[in-house]
């Protein structure tokens, strides 16, 4: 899958090569949880040059692909904790549940407030959450046009389920089927829409849909 995020790039490489984050952490002379913390928590914020060079040599890539810069750091507005509550930014863009929507700028136009305890119980990290609007009817039956969805952007190996993905310039919300090696199937819950089958390199997984809100 194409990605400019060094954390997602590293996770994708680990998955492709059947390596382990613990083993690679030891390879660069760090404790066994070092790279897991880098990917999951963003700490450290970036890898040291010697660490990047060692990992790049192991994977056979250019060291720059693992370098965190301002261009590939997250531009999603920060989540604002307010005591027992967390304000998750509602972004000024939609994910198409139809033929495909060009992604706009990730500007916050409001927020959804969630209980901090509830988020913890769901295993969700507030810093990795954002809310966007569903546009179109291809996910009708599960998601309706105008629904708001909560997207968990925590870097992880994608699995089956509903995700927001970017294909070219289009931002889509689809059900992923990754049962076939090297192929990602983008499945619509509305049977009027055909399934799209793409290569791993053509799909950039933004995050998993973990909650929805909509009118009755």
CATH superfamily of the domain spanning 6-66: lambda repressor-like DNA-binding domains (1.10.260.40)
Count other C-beta atoms under 10 Å from residue 167's C-beta.
17
| Sign of the dihedral through C-alpha 136, 139, 140, 146 | negative
Assigned token pair, 131: 């809310």
Assigned token pair, 158: 């994608």
Whether residue 130 contacts residue 75, with contact meaning beta carbons closer than 8 Å, is answered with no
Residue range(s) occupied by CATH 2.10.109.10 in the chain: 80-213
At 77 the pLDDT is 54
Tokens 């509903």 sit on residue = 162
The mean pLDDT value of the chain amounts to: 81
Assigned token pair, 100: 């495909």
Query: If pLDDT is split at 50, 70 and 90, which confidence band does 33 have?
Result: confident
Query: If pLDDT is split at 50, 70 and 90, which confidence band does 139 have?
Result: very high
Closest CA to 172 of 151, 154, 201: 151
Residue range(s) occupied by CATH 1.10.260.40 in the chain: 6-66
Query: If pLDDT is split at 50, 70 and 90, which confidence band does 18 have?
Result: confident
The residue count of the chain comes to 216
- Say which DSSP state 182 is in: T
139 by DSSP, 3-state: which? coil
65 by DSSP, 3-state: which? helix
Query: If pLDDT is split at 50, 70 and 90, which confidence band does 55 have?
Result: very high
Percentage of residues of the chain with pLDDT beyond 70: 81
Q: Is 147 left (phi over 0), alpha (psi -120 to 50) or beta?
A: beta
Q: Which CATH number fits domain 80-213: 3.40.50.20, 1.10.540.10, 2.10.109.10, 3.90.180.10?
A: 2.10.109.10
Separation CA 132–CA 148 (nearest Å): 6
77-81, 107-111, 170-174, 203-207, range with the lowest pLDDT = 77-81
């Amino acid at each position: 899958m194409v990605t400019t995020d060094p954390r997602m790039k590293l996770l994708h490489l680990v998955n492709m090569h059947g390596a382990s984050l613990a083993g690679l952490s030891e390879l660069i002379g760090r404790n066994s949880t070092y790279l897991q913390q880098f990917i999951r928590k963003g700490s450290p914020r970036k890898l040291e040059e010697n660490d990047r060079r060692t990992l790049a040599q192991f994977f056979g890539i250019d060291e720059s692909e693992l370098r965190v810069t301002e261009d590939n750091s997250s531009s999603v507005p920060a989540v604002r904790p307010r005591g027992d509550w967390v304000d998750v930014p509602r972004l000024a863009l939609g994910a198409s549940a139809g033929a495909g929507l060009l992604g706009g700028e990730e500007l916050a136009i409001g927020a959804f407030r969630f209980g901090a305890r509830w988020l913890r119980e769901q295993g969700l990290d507030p810093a990795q959450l954002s809310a966007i609007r569903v546009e179109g009817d291809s996910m009708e039956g599960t998601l309706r046009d105008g629904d708001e969805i909560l997207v968990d952007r925590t870097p992880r190996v994608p699995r089956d389920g509903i995700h927001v993905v970017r294909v070219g310039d289009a931002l889509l919300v689809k059900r992923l089927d990754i049962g076939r090696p090297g192929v990602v199937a983008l499945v619509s819950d509305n049977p009027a829409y055909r399934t799209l089958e793409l290569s791993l390199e053509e799909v950039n997984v933004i995050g998993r849909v973990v909650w929805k809100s909509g009118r009755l």
